[in-house]
Structure 1
Amino acid sequence: MITPPLFTRELANPIVTPGGPSWRRAVSFNPAVYHDGQQYWMLERCAGSLRPFICQLGLLRSDDGIYWEIATEEPVFSPAMCGSPIGSVQDPRVTRLEGRWWLTFAYRPYAWSSNPTGVGVPESHETDFPKLPPLPECEAAGSSNVANGRSDNLTRSGLAVSDDGKSWSFHSWITPANIDDRNVILFPEKISGRYAVLRRPLEAASSSIWLSYSDDLENWTAPELLAKAAHPWENNRIGGSCPPIRTDAGWLLFYHGVETTDSSAKAVTYRMGAMLLDLTVPRKIIARCPSPIFEPETYYERVGLYIPNVVFPTSCLLEDDTLLLYYGACDTSICLARASLEELLSLLDRHPC
């Protein structure tokens, strides 16, 4: 399905695996990677167990972007910093903007518990934490039908900030608490004088990418549609992957597409696609490749602890003409692949919108 093979996988893959401290002994995946001019830094989504599946962000460092070591004894960003120690912080993306490091993340107030099946999305349920706040009144009375758990436990997305890329503090919420809204990613510069983010509000459309704008990084406009799922390999949903990369041709946007391959087993495959957005009007798509440009092929991308058949890119660095793509594999480990920016733009040029 992939057209054509553009990415070369790092021979040392997976470059980061779980283990060591108790808070990361189960999984390490979906990283945010950035370079401060001296070293590479990585925020990893990690968890010490699957039941409950409390995710936090650990910090790693590297001299070459391939071999990593844990940089701190404790996670540097936790659900407690967002208001709930029994919650979960997920899927970091880091952007350098106006001299500071900005982190977008997904957050759930009460972590779920998961039972992997080995063939598809895990069987998950809300954790019966002691002293869990009571259900909202309407649910307690039985008048609310919440198919995916408590209505006060939806995934919302927030913004954190750091001056040194190592110590992080909560800044503000980007999305409201009453809708499930994730894959929120900040553009690395203002567009027409406003900050911009990608979003995926499930209440609006489960398989679409949306845009919102802000004058102050605290108050955001209602989302406007950017792109819908359009091909069989993304029939379940799509969402933003890495912070957009500015090129002369437009904003290079990687996104993930999820295909349901066996609904009875909840089996899915996560792949990556690419599109180009107009530099000044990003809701205008200049080009979009109809086939995925990266998909699960190796053993570590097809077999893992949490979900098999997953590549989930969350960070891409550009060094000269080389794209360094960092991604989670099977929601279990972290990997690296490389591609030529020139070759990728040439491919997109053959698929104008």
Structure 2
Amino acid sequence: MRLTRHENNPIVAPGGAGWRKAAAFNPGVVQTGDGKFYMYERAAGSLRPFRTSIGLLESDDGVRFKPVSEQPVFTADRLGFPDGSVEDARVVRIDGLYYMCYALQPYAFDCWPTGTGLPAYYPENYPQWADNGVEPMITRSGIAVSEDGIRFEQLAYTTPADIDDRDNALFPEKIGGRYAILRRPMPYVGEKYGTDTPGIWIGYSDDLLAWSEPELVAVAENPEWEGTKIGAAATPVKTERGWLVLYHGVDKQSIYRVGALMLDLENPRKVIARTRLPIMEPETYYEKFGLVLPNVVFPTANLVVDDLLYVYYGCCDTSIGLATVPLKELVDYVFDPES
């Protein structure tokens, strides 16, 4: 199974406005009611501090994007954290409203590449972390809502403030009368939780405001490429055979690859099929080398366009790529990798 990278990759690169000069990556993408593509990029203007906000681009074809606004459409300041970052938007439309899952890091930190895997993060230069009794680099997730896809307001937090929990992805419709969301609570490991490494969990809500305690969905199975953690990559895609979920796996060298699994349509806690090998891994120069983190393909959006699955992904926390695959071909492969 191979996804086809677009010939224009990376389709979005940093530059232009000061708040996105250093990096533009990990986008949410959704189609509007009139067929346009809205892309919600995570963008940074510098590495010291490495503060990210969410900007909006638009496209008629899903490939060539241009800015909608000279300013970000969502920032941590909206949440009461003027020095913080909002990250990794995953966006769906439900009943005409746009819902953006986001991750929040409340205070500033510095970042620079090391060339040996994970970058160096330094929150020590910013006393807000210690002054507020918050674990450095902790991430909380939430949902913002918009009527037009441009002006977003905070709706609710989906995870507690005292644990690191990101990779939230909202299902695009209710299941059994309830909203459902995928999560990745980092501390939920050990015998009590049924997994030795952080995995994919699911929670439910009647109103998008109050969320149930999450239940475990999937854990790392192949130590060669997903040995340290896995997390939901993009919004689940509904197919006749189940919910298709792309996920990222991280190995001990901090290389990010992509797998796929299928969840039961009526009980999405149940995994009914899963790839054994990654369906995508860093291959091109822009996936192996970047400003921040080397060797990363990190999907955060997928859309079905004329029976093709458009997969939008971050490249090395620096730029944005697009890959495509026939949806039926990918689903068939997940169920039968030897076909």
Pick the TM interval, shorter chain.
over 0.9
Which amino acid is the alignment partner of residue 209 of structure 1?
Answer: I
CA RMSD of aligned residues (A): 1.5
2:103 is paired with a residue whose SS is: strand
Identify if the C-alpha distance between structure 1 residues 73 and 176 changes in structure 2 by more than 3 Å, giving closer, same or farther: same
Of 70, 76, 79, 1:73 maps to: 70
Q: Distance in 2 between matches of 1:83 and 1:187?
A: 27
The aligned counterpart of 1:9 is 5
Question: Contact (CA 8 Å) 2:188, 2:198: kept in 1 or not?
Answer: no
Question: Contact (CA 8 Å) 1:110, 1:127: kept in 2 or not?
Answer: no
Of 148, 162, 169, 1:185 maps to: 169
Of 252, 265, 278, 1:279 maps to: 265
Q: Distance in 2 between matches of 1:134 and 1:154?
A: 12
Which amino acid is the alignment partner of residue 271 of structure 2?
Answer: I
Q: Distance in 2 between matches of 1:335 and 1:153?
A: 26
The aligned counterpart of 2:233 is 241
The aligned counterpart of 2:156 is 172
Deviation of the 1:73 alpha carbon? 1.1
Q: Distance in 2 between matches of 1:134 and 1:14?
A: 38
Of 286, 297, 311, 1:300 maps to: 286
The aligned counterpart of 1:269 is 255
Which amino acid is the alignment partner of residue 169 of structure 1?
Answer: E
1:260 is paired with a residue whose SS is: coil
The aligned counterpart of 1:198 is 182
Equivalent pairs, count: 329
Aligned counterparts, 1:146-157, within 5 A = 150-151=134-135, 154-157=138-141
Question: Contact (CA 8 Å) 1:152, 1:177: kept in 2 or not?
Answer: no
Higher mean alpha-carbon deviation, 37-46 vs 154-163, is at: 37-46
Dislocated runs of 4+, deviation >4 Å: none
The aligned counterpart of 2:218 is 227
Which amino acid is the alignment partner of residue 188 of structure 1?
Answer: P
2:252 is paired with a residue whose SS is: strand
Asked if 1:44 corresponds to 2:41, the answer is yes
Identify if the C-alpha distance between structure 1 residues 221 and 152 changes in structure 2 by more than 3 Å, giving closer, same or farther: farther
Deviation per residue, 1:20-45 (Å, 9 max, x gap):
11100000000011111232111000
Deviation of the 1:151 alpha carbon? 2.4
Deviation per residue, 1:251-279 (Å, 9 max, x gap):
00000001112xxxxxx210110000000
Question: Contact (CA 8 Å) 1:181, 1:201: kept in 2 or not?
Answer: yes
Q: Distance in 2 between matches of 1:111 and 1:256?
A: 26
Identify if the C-alpha distance between structure 1 residues 29 and 153 changes in structure 2 by more than 3 Å, giving closer, same or farther: closer
Question: Contact (CA 8 Å) 2:13, 2:320: kept in 1 or not?
Answer: yes
Of 96, 99, 115, 2:96 maps to: 99
Asked if 1:214 corresponds to 2:197, the answer is no
Q: Distance in 1 between matches of 2:305 and 2:17?
A: 32
Deviation of the 1:125 alpha carbon? 1.3
Which amino acid is the alignment partner of residue 336 of structure 2?
Answer: R
Identify if the C-alpha distance between structure 1 residues 45 and 305 changes in structure 2 by more than 3 Å, giving closer, same or farther: same
Which amino acid is the alignment partner of residue 296 of structure 1?
Answer: P
Which amino acid is the alignment partner of residue 246 of structure 2?
Answer: F
In the alignment, structure 1 segments of 5+ residues that lack a partner are: 140-149, 262-267
For normalisation by structure 2, the TM-score amounts to 0.94
Deviation per residue, 1:178-198 (Å, 9 max, x gap):
000000110011111111000
The aligned counterpart of 2:193 is none
Of 15, 18, 23, 1:19 maps to: 15
Deviation of the 1:320 alpha carbon? 2.5
Higher mean alpha-carbon deviation, 249-258 vs 117-126, is at: 117-126
The aligned counterpart of 1:256 is 248
Question: Contact (CA 8 Å) 2:123, 2:137: kept in 1 or not?
Answer: no
In the alignment, structure 2 segments of 5+ residues that lack a partner are: 190-196
Question: Contact (CA 8 Å) 1:111, 1:127: kept in 2 or not?
Answer: no
Deviation of the 1:96 alpha carbon? 1.1
1:348 is paired with a residue whose SS is: helix
Deviation per residue, 1:206-249 (Å, 9 max, x gap):
42100000111011111110000000210010000010000000
The aligned counterpart of 2:25 is 29
Question: Contact (CA 8 Å) 1:152, 1:178: kept in 2 or not?
Answer: no
Higher mean alpha-carbon deviation, 203-212 vs 100-109, is at: 203-212
Question: Contact (CA 8 Å) 1:52, 1:127: kept in 2 or not?
Answer: no
Asked if 1:61 corresponds to 2:58, the answer is yes
Which amino acid is the alignment partner of residue 84 of structure 2?
Answer: G
Q: Distance in 1 between matches of 2:315 and 2:218?
A: 25
The aligned counterpart of 2:85 is 88
Which amino acid is the alignment partner of residue 32 of structure 1?
Answer: G
Question: Contact (CA 8 Å) 2:298, 2:313: kept in 1 or not?
Answer: yes
Deviation per residue, 1:266-321 (Å, 9 max, x gap):
xx210110000000000111100110001111111011111110000000010131
Deviation of the 1:153 alpha carbon? 5.5
Q: Distance in 2 between matches of 1:31 and 1:333?
A: 10
Question: Contact (CA 8 Å) 1:56, 1:78: kept in 2 or not?
Answer: yes
Q: Distance in 1 between matches of 2:152 and 2:284?
A: 34
Percent of pairs with identical residues: 49
